[in-house]
Structure 1
Amino acid sequence: MTYYVLSRNARPVGVFVTDPARGHALMWDHRRRSWAYNPERVTRFLDDHRNFERYREVDRATADRAAASVTGGQLLPDEKTIEGIFEQAATG
């Protein structure tokens, strides 16, 4: 798993979790106020050169702290849950 924190003015505003080898990605959806499987949106964001200064790869502990800030208290789902979300998406 690879973790990314998105920032604006040095404040966390988003969190992505990716499995680049299998093309999976999870992100915090601000509108729904929940974690959402959305590899297309995450890939578009990460691949856009205009966003390179807006995110950084981090370790799990840093991603958890950023997630708590972005979500109003929720941590990332545990890795077993994330794997389950990715597997469910793969099997349709």
Structure 2
Amino acid sequence: MLTYYVIYRDDAKARPAGIFIMDPATESAILWNHRKAVWSYDPSLVLRFLDDYRNLDRYENVDRSVVEGVVQEVTGGEGLPDEDSIALMLEKGLRQAQ
């Protein structure tokens, strides 16, 4: 089962700034990479961010439907991949990391 996170610039949570999608069973994760304007496999960055106590007020674990509502704002127009596509990205990234 996938977990979805909306990331904010600060604890005010006024505007979403990022999205993480993670498979907790494998600890593989993707995020929206603003610089490349693509979904990127980067579980180490996601885990570092989520495990840092200074970021506890800067993210929310949410349902997919919530992410679907903010994805356009975060990505600048890209949609949220379907769950099969996400699973393929996570699997491919996990294979390449091994």
What is the TM-score when the length of structure 2 is the normalising length?
0.88
Q: Once superposed, what is the RMSD of the aligned Cα atoms?
A: 1.0
Runs of at least 5 residues in structure 2 that lack an aligned partner in the other structure: none
Deviation >3 Å, runs of 4+: none
Q: How many residues align?
A: 92
SS in 2 for 1:53: coil
Decide which of 3, 18, 25 is 1:21's aligned counterpart.
25
**1:35 and 2:39 aligned:** yes
Which shifted more, 73-82 or 38-47? 73-82
Percent pairwise identity: 47
2:55 aligns to what?
Answer: 51
Give the aligned residue type for 1:5.
V
Map Cα deviations across residues 5-43 of structure 1 (whole Å, 9 max, x no partner). 011341000000000110110101111111100000000
Decide which of 80, 87, 91 is 2:84's aligned counterpart.
80
